[in-house]
Structure 1
Amino acid sequence: MEHSAVDTVVAHLERGLVELRRDLHQHPEVPGREERTASVVARELRAAGLTVTTGVGGHGVLGVLQGSRPGRTVAYRADMDAVPPEGIVGGGTAPAHVCGHDIHTTVALGVAQVLARLRRQLSGRVVFLFQPAEESLAGARALIEDGVLERTGVEEIHALHCGPFPVGQFAVTPGYGLPGQDRAEVTLQGPDASGAAQRLAAEIGALATVTPPQTPADLERMVADVQTPQGPLARFVAVRARAQEAKVTVSYRCWPQERYVQIREDISRLATSYPGARVSFPAEPFPAMVCPEGDARTLARHLRRAFGQDAVTELHAAFPFNGEDFALYLDRVPGTYTFLGVRAPGAPITACYPHYPDFAPDERAIGVGVRAVAGWIAQRTHRA
């Protein structure tokens, strides 16, 4: 499929897509309650001529576009939920689209519209997964357990996520992605259990090698660090330990994910130095999202051809304080996860870093994302 054909269709659709994004933005819905968003998505997909299934894994929507030529089955995922108040940096009073999922949903709908209009040039089949409940890390598992990958025969899957990079730029993630998460609970005994819990929380917290950014300068440094080969974030441990009465609750992320074994041992060692302490790990660690290196580099070449050599940066580390349930798809099929730059010229870093209350992505990123993904998906459905 020619880039010029995609660009022509995107130019025709772009204004309507911006209006669609603004509508979604004004109606944020928390994880698991995406009724209106799902209804809008289903309406737009049907209007584009896709086969649509609703109620998938909760409020998920499945759209299938069959090309005119034989080829492969490729999936594209967009998350639909908004950030609940407690997920907003500094706290919020209401759910809000401060993670860019309204952008993600709009880009995916734009890709569906573009490829539907160019169906005669499209090989294979494209499966669009509009996923609920990403913020709670529940939606991907629900869709997978509903059998969407098996019954559609998905061979690979792709996604974009808003990122703190200039609009028009992409950040690919060969061999990297985002960390998973693990949790621990420790219960202390004895008359000084409350004081012991405070001390133990501090000791567990000291296992961290990175701390959450406190200032815009800290955010700028972190964005630079993830683009630095063998930089300070190539390996990390991020720990949050809280004491409440006689209990310590721990949440932590690390890279690489194999470090969870050692961190669990370290937490157990610190806890058992307190007589009578009981340590538990309620579940297996949520897996890290690790993107296949070869696919990411192929995508980088595609993006450079379409947008220019300077349009792509490469991440050499993972952001320590963000997770993503897209990991569960990549555990089953190969694919890519790429950051779409949404930083407007002159905008502060907090305006383009997800979960900050002043998150305000540059809407020109919508057209950029649609152009990139439509061309990429069309390329991937073609069977060599």
Structure 2
Amino acid sequence: MTNLDEELIELRREIHRRPELAGEERETAGLVAQQLREAGLEVTTGVGGHGVIAVLDGSADGPTVAYRADMDAVDAQTNVLPFALSDRVFDEGFASRVPGVAHLCGHDLHTAIGVGLARTLAQDSASVRGRLVFVFQPSEENLQGARAMLETGLVQGLAPREFYSLHCGPFPAGTIAVSPGYGLPGLDHFRIALPDGDEATAAALAAEVAKLGTVEFPKSVAEYHARFQTVIDPETAASMREFVCVAQWTEQTPDGRPVPNVLLRLWPQERYLELRAQVEQLAAAVGGHIELTGDPFPAMVNSAELTTAAGRYLSRALGPESVAWAEASWPFNCEDFALFLNEAPGAQFYLGVANAEVGMNGAPHTPDFAADERAIAHGVRAMTGLLIDRLAAR
């Protein structure tokens, strides 16, 4: 293990000990900015909240490629799946010191890998033919950070040709999953007003809305893994099947009337209008109507072409046994990296962080999430090579 590997593990542990919720990533952003400045990069802080952007100009002219890492932690009581994957909770001495807040999605690893990438490439800038932009994003968990950073115009001003990111996944450490043409679902949320409704009417309507779904929210370990680890044929990877996941709950008005809420997780996002119209029709049949709570959030769509190219490069560089071609999309959360991919094509890859031999599940948003820290060095080396390769592509 190199000195940099050890330093990145310690950086991850420091972030893990002091997790910060979405919008509160002040200390994490400070650690990131300090390391990037010490590496000689041009650093801008306070971008869209606590966002950090660092720029590395290489030794020759070339395209601009961007890489994003997210920094926020989660509310450990409310933002996790309703089941554990094991009966073991890991504590190697760097557990969260902030009550109720924890890095259960792996953003501490994402941040450490992003810093490692920037430091590694800054030390070898002669191999960088073009410009690299490193985006450290706040507020991913509440889907606000990417939009806030883009609203500053700084990312667009750097005009990246391509955009990439890594996310932890429940694959074995030492592997990377690529998903050409696939991604994560979009979200649409609305309320159903029932002027004369009662609980029976609301329940009957909810049952009809539920029939619009094609998949259910995972209810078990087996369902989780089946959804997230479906290996696909790389030659037909872009033929993503459709799915709709319907979540519902009921609120009460001050006078006690039920108000059903509907949250649609869906792929592809082009079905938003169709599904809204179907729910509106169901609501109208019982004298109600839908009230939109905002614009739908877009699905994250990996470029089929660029992801396939990345998968082939990684297979050559790491060995084909280290690359899984997988269906990453599953009905838990969406991902606001989608907004960066609307600015420039690219992909999010899934870095395996599981270690079954010791019970580390590597499954984000589970109460017993644990990751093999050796994956940090693997992610740095894999993405370093990929970014250099993409800058060389014409």
Q: Matched residue of 1:128: which SS?
A: strand
Q: Which runs of 5+ in 2 are unaligned?
A: 84-97, 253-257
Structure 1 residue 223: Cα displacement: 2.9
Deviations 1:127-165 (A, max 9, x none): 110000000100000111111222222221110100111
Structure 1 residue 294: Cα displacement: 0.8
Residue from 276, 290, 293 that aligns with 1:282:
293
| Structure 1 counterpart of 2:241 | 234
Is 1:376 paired with 2:386?
yes
Q: Distance in 1 between the 2:175 and 2:30 partners?
A: 31
Structure 1 residue 348: Cα displacement: 5.2
Matches within 5 A, 1:194-273: 194-225=199-230, 227=232, 234-245=241-252, 246-273=258-285
Quick check: 359-368 or 215-224, which moved more?
215-224
Q: Which runs of 5+ in 1 are unaligned?
A: 1-9
Q: Distance in 2 between the 1:163 and 1:220 partners?
A: 10
| Structure 2 counterpart of 1:45 | 36
Given that 1:234 and 1:317 are in contact with CA atoms closer than 8 Å, whether structure 2 keeps it comes out as: no
Q: Distance in 2 between the 1:122 and 1:114 partners?
A: 11
Quick check: 153-162 or 366-375, which moved more?
153-162
Quick check: 352-361 or 198-207, which moved more?
198-207
Residue type of the alignment partner of 1:200: L
Residue type of the alignment partner of 1:183: H
| Structure 2 counterpart of 1:89 | 81
Percent of residue pairs bearing the same amino acid type = 44
**Residues 206 and 347 (structure 1), Cα distance of their counterparts in 2 relative to 1, 3 Å cut:** farther
Given that 1:194 and 1:244 are in contact with CA atoms closer than 8 Å, whether structure 2 keeps it comes out as: no
**Residues 233 and 357 (structure 1), Cα distance of their counterparts in 2 relative to 1, 3 Å cut:** farther
Residue from 123, 126, 134 that aligns with 1:117:
123
Q: Distance in 2 between the 1:220 and 1:145 partners?
A: 36
Structure 1 residue 238: Cα displacement: 0.3
Quick check: 66-75 or 98-107, which moved more?
66-75
Q: Distance in 2 between the 1:226 and 1:237 partners?
A: 20
TM-score, structure 2 length as denominator? Answer: 0.89
| Structure 1 counterpart of 2:25 | 34
Structure 1 residue 301: Cα displacement: 1.2
TM-score, structure 1 length as denominator? Answer: 0.92
Structure 1 residue 89: Cα displacement: 2.5
Q: Distance in 2 between the 1:198 and 1:348 partners?
A: 41
Structure 1 residue 253: Cα displacement: 1.0
Residue type of the alignment partner of 2:245: A
Structure 1 residue 233: Cα displacement: 7.9
Residue type of the alignment partner of 1:221: A
Deviations 1:322-377 (A, max 9, x none): 2100111111111121111111133558x211110110011111000000111111
**Residues 224 and 163 (structure 1), Cα distance of their counterparts in 2 relative to 1, 3 Å cut:** closer
**Residues 346 and 382 (structure 1), Cα distance of their counterparts in 2 relative to 1, 3 Å cut:** same
| Structure 2 counterpart of 1:150 | 156
Q: Matched residue of 2:365: which SS?
A: coil
Q: Distance in 1 between the 2:99 and 2:199 partners?
A: 31
Given that 2:229 and 2:328 are in contact with CA atoms closer than 8 Å, whether structure 1 keeps it comes out as: no
Q: Distance in 2 between the 1:58 and 1:189 partners?
A: 41
| Structure 2 counterpart of 1:298 | 309
**Residues 243 and 347 (structure 1), Cα distance of their counterparts in 2 relative to 1, 3 Å cut:** farther
Q: Distance in 2 between the 1:114 and 1:278 partners?
A: 56
Residue type of the alignment partner of 2:379: G
Residue type of the alignment partner of 1:143: M
**Residues 233 and 330 (structure 1), Cα distance of their counterparts in 2 relative to 1, 3 Å cut:** closer
| Structure 2 counterpart of 1:137 | 143
| Structure 1 counterpart of 2:351 | 340
Given that 1:57 and 1:146 are in contact with CA atoms closer than 8 Å, whether structure 2 keeps it comes out as: yes
**Residues 329 and 233 (structure 1), Cα distance of their counterparts in 2 relative to 1, 3 Å cut:** closer
**Considering only aligned residues, what root-mean-square deviation do their CA atoms show, in Å?**
2.2
Residue from 323, 328, 333 that aligns with 1:312:
323
Q: Distance in 2 between the 1:290 and 1:383 partners?
A: 21
